[in-house]
Structure 1
């Protein structure tokens, strides 16, 4: 059984296309400083009109805002993936933007709120899924 893959639509396609290129983007709007994630059909909580939706590249660096550790697989395709760490990563260059994802390459006992994280991408079929891991020191794998 395969792990889940996204089903892009007109609103989210730009996000998944960027991920396939190994780039992390969030949704912005022409002529404004508004950023939001996840992508929505309209700018949430913004008084007045904003421009068209545009992808805004971000660095892929952030910090651990909150997390939980799943010790039991929620689907058979994830049976060999445990324990699975689900986390909210707050992006460094887009304050207030938090991405719900999983953390990889980390021992759950080493997790600390506010620890530095960086994006990595997992290949799944024709998609690449953004995930985060602790920032690695220069020269380490």
Structure 2
């Protein structure tokens, strides 16, 4: 699977190559957002940059997937909403063994992609 990169998402993907979880920051209002967009979701400004996240957060919601749409993806796996300490929410995977629960503290881990980029996934803190 190839995940495209463009002028908006390129800096974010470049950060993943160094295992850096970046958030977009609006220089007009200071708002943080994820995923990268052309406009600030708080004020509509196009004056956006990137800042590094702590990579820590809390599980808001999660579910176990037992039937994958892609036969190459092993099941079961966990899809979750993680609210970063900085505020933005990521839709991601939870990795590692053990019990999962809403409110559990997590930290970013990285799943390598064939082209050198990485996907952020989360593990227990």
* TM-score (norm. length: structure 1): 0.81
| Corresponding residue SS for 1:76 | coil
Find runs of 4+ consecutive structure 1 residues off by over 3 angstroms.
none
Matched length: 124
- Give the whole-Å Cα distance in 2 for the aligned partners of 1:50 and 1:103: 33
**Is the 1:5–1:124 Cα contact (8 Å) retained in structure 2?**
no
Match of 1:105 in 2: 96
Partner of 2:110: 121
- The answer for unaligned runs of 5 or more in structure 1 is 136-141
- Please provide the CA RMSD for this pair: 1.5
Tell me the TM-score normalized by structure 2. Answer: 0.91
Q: 2:55 aligns with which of 51, 60, 75?
A: 60
Following the alignment from structure 2 to structure 1, what is the Cα–Cα distance between the partners of residues 97 and 49? 33
- Kindly name which structure, 1 or 2, has the bigger radius of gyration based on alpha carbons: 1
Q: Equivalent residue for 2:27?
A: 30
Q: Which runs of 5+ in 2 are unaligned?
A: none
